[in-house]
Amino acid sequence: MNAITSSSQRKVHVPLGERAYDILIGSGLIARAGAEIASRLKGRKAAIITDEHVAPLYLEALVNSLEGSGIMSAQLVLPAGERTKSFEHLMTACDKILEARVERNDYVIALGGGVIGDLAGFAAGIVRRGVRFVQVPTSLLSQVDSSVGGKTGINSRHGKNLIGVYHQPDLVLADTDVLNSLSEREFRAGYAEVAKYGLIDKPDFFAWLETNWSAVFAGGSARIEAIATSCQAKSDVVVADERENGPRALLNLGHTFGHALEAATAYESARLVHGEGVSIGMVLAHEFSARMNLASPDDAKRVEKHLKEVGLPTRMSDIPGALPPAEKLLDAMAQDKKVKNGKFTFILTHGIGRSFIADDVPASEVLAFLKQKQPQ
């Protein structure tokens, strides 16, 4: 870690020059949000964007914390769920920010999970050609992944996250207390992104998770350690390749398969949520790597064993309801932003913690693999 303040709070610094920012991880950060923001940023007005699930739990505490530090806020509560990442709700968010008279030195605060963070960040990036932005992520997935790195956006009928901008936050406050209110399913979905960092290039971290995952689920120092390690891993990649022209694409391990499965279920959370799609996608990526003689089948079995042990889905047959034919899944992958010039780019692996970017993967191989893996 770049800095350690105590065993109950960690700080990860993202050194992006003039766009550098801190990620604070620990207990009680929503109650201290006003003080943390006021000590770093000049503005004294904020527009808080949240959703109807999070607002009853944490909005009042955040507003009070801001007011205690002399920061006045307007609030917008949107519907919860992936379908909120739409042009309609983006326009609503932009109107609220302008109505609140948020200027370029003021800020938008995203209080919620990945959907709210992506939408609010996109709005902050385009209103007045960019206003300051603070992330207060309330899900494990958003704390370890979507709140860090500046990727914002909404979905299109053509696919997930296809419309957006890069807009780095000015501060991330990851209050680990809020994770206690998550359902087991939500926490498990976020854990898939934690495991991803080990599978990309940190085999020792993946081995640590295999041994300590139950302590991470229980909370305390193991949870803070896992989140901080994940944030540092993402920070390192973002600093090396902020706009995904090279190694940042490694963060998409499992996502090309996963996004196609999400699209195939019409983003119905009752059937599949993002982290579950990533879990299945990571197993598929390791199995496809083995099919291409790039890695041992034993690695794919090890990945599946661990993800299944923590309660995550690992196969397409674990998704309730029927899936479209393999050809339709391939079409969804072709719309994915990991495709360049019509050629498939996958994140594949030579083994645990040895992921790499594979260009020009033959569509025929992918189609044959999907047909093999589809539920019969």
Q: Which residue has the tokens 């680990």?
A: 176
Among 18, 129, 245, 293, the one annotated catalytic:
129
Among 252, 262, 276, 302, the one annotated catalytic:
252
- Residues with Cβ < 8 Å from 247, sequence gap 6 or more? 237, 240, 241, 357
Is there a binding annotation on residue 337? no
Q: Report the pLDDT value the prediction gives residue 337, as an integer from 0 to 100.
A: 53
- Model pLDDT for residues 255-291, shown as the tens digit of each residue: 999 999 999 998 898 999 999 999 999 999 999 999 9
Which of the four pLDDT bands, split at 50, 70 and 90, describes residue 10? Answer: very high
Told to judge if 306 belongs to the known catalytic residues of this protein, a careful annotator would answer no
Which of the four pLDDT bands, split at 50, 70 and 90, describes residue 243? Answer: confident
Four-way CATH pick for 187-373: 1.20.1090.10, 3.40.50.11540, 3.20.20.110, 1.10.132.20: 1.20.1090.10
Q: Please name the fold of domain 3-181.
A: Rossmann fold (3.40.50)
Q: What is the mean pLDDT of residues 237-259?
A: 91
Which of the four pLDDT bands, split at 50, 70 and 90, describes residue 2? Answer: very low
Told to judge if 193 belongs to the known catalytic residues of this protein, a careful annotator would answer yes
- Model pLDDT for residues 46-103, shown as the tens digit of each residue: 999 999 999 999 999 999 999 999 999 999 999 998 899 999 999 999 999 999 999 9
Told to judge if 82 belongs to the known catalytic residues of this protein, a careful annotator would answer no
Among 32, 167, 188, 248, the one annotated catalytic:
248
Is there a binding annotation on residue 178? no
Percent of the chain at pLDDT exceeding 70: 96
Return the higher-pLDDT residue of 324 and 1: 324
Contact predicate 178/30, CB 8 Å: yes
Q: Report the pLDDT value the prediction gives residue 336, as an integer from 0 to 100.
A: 67
Told to judge if 129 belongs to the known catalytic residues of this protein, a careful annotator would answer yes
Told to judge if 259 belongs to the known catalytic residues of this protein, a careful annotator would answer yes
Is there a binding annotation on residue 118? yes
Which tokens in the block code for residue 272? 């599949």
In the chain, CATH 3.40.50.1970 covers 3-181
- Residues with Cβ < 8 Å from 307, sequence gap 6 or more? 192, 195, 279, 282, 283, 314
Q: Report the pLDDT value the prediction gives residue 267, as an integer from 0 to 100.
A: 86
Is there a binding annotation on residue 116? yes
Q: Report the pLDDT value the prediction gives residue 341, as an integer from 0 to 100.
A: 64
Choose among 256, 354, 277: nearest CA to 323: 277
3-state secondary structure the chain: CCEEEECCEEEEEECCHHHCEEEEEECCCCCCHHHHHHCCCCCCEEEEEEECCCHHHHHHHHHHHHHHCCCEEEEEEECCCHHHCCHHHHHHHHHHHHHCCCCCCCEEEEEECHHHHHHHHHHHHHHHHCCEEEEEECCHHHHHHHCCCCECCEEECCEEEEECCECCCCEEEEEHHHHHHCCHHHHHHHHHHHHHHHHHHCHHHHHHHHHHHHHHHHCCHHHHHHHHHHHHHHHHHHHHCCCCCCHHHHHHCCHHHHHHHHHHCCCCCCCCCHHHHHHHHHHHHHHHHHHCCCCCHHHHHHHHHHHHHCCCCCCHHHCCCCCCCHHHHHHHHHHCCCCECCEEEEEEECCCCCEEEEEEECHHHHHHHHHHHCCC
Told to judge if 101 belongs to the known catalytic residues of this protein, a careful annotator would answer no
Q: Is it the case that residue 340 has pLDDT exceeding 70?
A: no
Q: Report the pLDDT value the prediction gives residue 1, as an integer from 0 to 100.
A: 33
Is there a binding annotation on residue 114? yes
Choose among 71, 6, 4, 2: nearest CA to 32: 71
Contact predicate 212/195, CB 8 Å: no
Q: Are strands 171-175 and 21-26 parallel, antiparallel or unpaired?
A: parallel
Q: Which residue has the tokens 């495709």?
A: 339
Among 10, 85, 132, 259, the one annotated catalytic:
259
- Model pLDDT for residues 93-135, shown as the tens digit of each residue: 999 999 999 998 999 999 999 999 999 999 999 999 999 999 9
Is there a binding annotation on residue 286? no
d(Cα 342, Cα 163) in Å, to the nearest integer? Answer: 18
Q: Report the pLDDT value the prediction gives residue 139, as an integer from 0 to 100.
A: 96
Q: Report the pLDDT value the prediction gives residue 244, as an integer from 0 to 100.
A: 82
Q: Is it the case that residue 6 has pLDDT exceeding 70?
A: no
Q: Is it the case that residue 348 has pLDDT exceeding 80?
A: yes
Contact predicate 15/47, CB 8 Å: no
Is there a binding annotation on residue 115? yes
Contact predicate 90/152, CB 8 Å: no
Which of the four pLDDT bands, split at 50, 70 and 90, describes residue 5? Answer: very low
Q: Is it the case that residue 27 has pLDDT exceeding 90?
A: yes
In the chain, CATH 1.20.1090.10 covers 187-373
Which tokens in the block code for residue 82? 């992936």
- Model pLDDT for residues 209-228, shown as the tens digit of each residue: 999 999 999 988 999 999 99
Return the higher-pLDDT residue of 375 and 114: 114
Is there a binding annotation on residue 164? no
Told to judge if 234 belongs to the known catalytic residues of this protein, a careful annotator would answer yes
Contact predicate 295/350, CB 8 Å: yes
- Model pLDDT for residues 148-195, shown as the tens digit of each residue: 999 999 999 888 889 999 999 999 999 999 999 999 999 999 999 999
d(Cα 58, Cα 187) in Å, to the nearest integer? Answer: 18
Told to judge if 13 belongs to the known catalytic residues of this protein, a careful annotator would answer no
Among 193, 225, 276, 287, the one annotated catalytic:
193
Return the higher-pLDDT residue of 248 and 318: 318
Is there a binding annotation on residue 338? no
d(Cα 176, Cα 88) in Å, to the nearest integer? Answer: 31
Among 82, 244, 262, 287, the one annotated catalytic:
244
Q: What is the mean pLDDT of residues 186-205?
A: 97
DSSP bridge pairs for 343? 340
